[in-house]
Amino acid sequence: MPELPDLEVLAENLDKLTGGKKIKKVVVLKDKPVQPLPPAEFISFVEGKIIKSVKRTGKQQLFTFDDGNTLLVHLMLHGELHYLQAAEPLPAYAVAAFYFAENKVLVFKDHTQWLKLRLNTQGESVMDPVTKKFTLQFFRKLIQDKPKNAVKEILLNQENITGIGSAYADEICYNAKIRPQACAGDLEEKDIKLLFHAVVDTLKDAVRKIKKGMAGNITGEFTEHFAVHGKKKGKCPLGHKLETVKVGGRGSEYCPICQK
C-alpha cells in the first residue's frame, strides 16, 4: 500500500511527466472508479483539458487543469499508474486511460476497481504530518488522549494523521527508539518529543530516498531504505536480531535492544 512518502514522490513524478500536456482522448474501461458520474460525462469533462499541475493532498493526487477544474485520484490499496507509449496495449486491469498529444498514455490500473477518480471534489482534511500545521502540541494531545493505545495504533489511525501505514509506523518507532507496542500512557515528555521528530524526519528522509530510487518512475515501489519493516527475522541496522509482534492487527517488526 502506498504511504505518504511514496505518494509525495508519485505526485512530483506525475507532475514532471504530465504537467503542461493536453489530454486528447479519455477511455473509461470500468464504471466503478468514476461513479457516481456516468463514464460519458466523465470523459466529456476531462477530454481536451491541459494538466497544469499535479500535487499530493493527503493520500490523493490532485490534478489541476488549466481552466481551474480539478481531478482527485485516490489509488486506495491496490491502484497503480503507468505511463506508456500510446501504441502499446493497455495492461490487464486497466480501469481508465488518458491519451496525450505526445503519443503517450497515462493508465489507471486496479484489479479491485477501488481506485477513485473524482472531479472537483475536496480532498480529505486530516492532519498532514509533513506540513507546518503538524506541531508537537497537536501530536502530544493525540498521545495523551489515547493513553491505553499502542503507539503504533495511534500512528496508523487515519483519522488522526494521514498517510502513515504499517511500514512507516515501524520505521518511525525504530527511529524514535520506542517499541510499536509501547503504551501511549507510559511515554514521558521526552519520548513524545522523540516520536514527534521521528514522524517528521522519517517521512521527509524517505521522500528524498524514494526520489532517488524511483528515478522519475510512477510505477513500482521503493523500500530498500527500510531499517526494520518487512525484515522478518532479519537484523536492525546495528546488527541486532529483530522481533515481530502484532499491533492493532498489523504485523510489526522492532529491535528489542534499540527500542524500549
Q: Check residue 257 for interaction with Zn ion (CB under 5 A).
A: yes
Residues 236 and 244: beta-carbon distance below 8 Å: no
Distance in Å, CB of 246 to Zn ion, minimum: 20
**Interface mask toward Zn ion for 181-220; x: CB under 5 A:** ----------------------------------------
Residue 258 binds to Zn ion (criterion: CB under 5 A): yes
211 Rama class: left (phi>0) / alpha (psi -120 to 50) / beta: alpha
Cell numbers found for residue 146: 489515547
Per CB under 5 A, contacts with Zn ion among 105-144 are none
Number of residues located near Zn ion, criterion CB under 5 A = 6
Kindly tell me which residue out of 141, 208, 212, 240 binds Zn ion, with binding defined by CB under 5 A.
240
Q: Which of residues 220-239 bind Zn ion (CB under 5 A)?
A: 236, 238
Nearer to Zn ion, 185 or 256 (CB): 256
Q: Is residue 178 at the binding interface for Zn ion, with CB under 5 A as the rule?
A: no
Strand order from edge to edge, sheet including 104-109: 23-28, 94-100, 104-109, 80-85
Shortest spacing between CB 236 and Zn ion, in angstroms: 3
- Alpha helix ranges (H) inside 125-188: 136-145, 151-156, 166-176
Angular region, 93: left φ>0, alpha ψ -120 to 50, beta rest: left
Closer Cβ to Zn ion, 215 or 238, answer by number: 238
241 sits near Zn ion (criterion: CB under 5 A): no
- The CB density around residue 69, as the number of other CB atoms within 10 Å, is 14
| CA proximity to 236, closest of 249, 227, 244 | 227
Name the residue nearer to Zn ion (CB basis): 81 or 172: 172
Supply the DSSP symbol for 34.
G
- Amino acid identity at 260: K
* Shortest Cβ 179–Zn ion spacing (Å): 11
| Residue 172 or 258 having the CB closest to Zn ion | 258
Q: Where are the alpha helices (DSSP H) in 32-129?
A: 39-46
Whichever of 74 and 179 has its CB closer to Zn ion, that residue is: 179
Residues found near Zn ion in the complex (CB under 5 A): 236, 238, 240, 255, 257-258
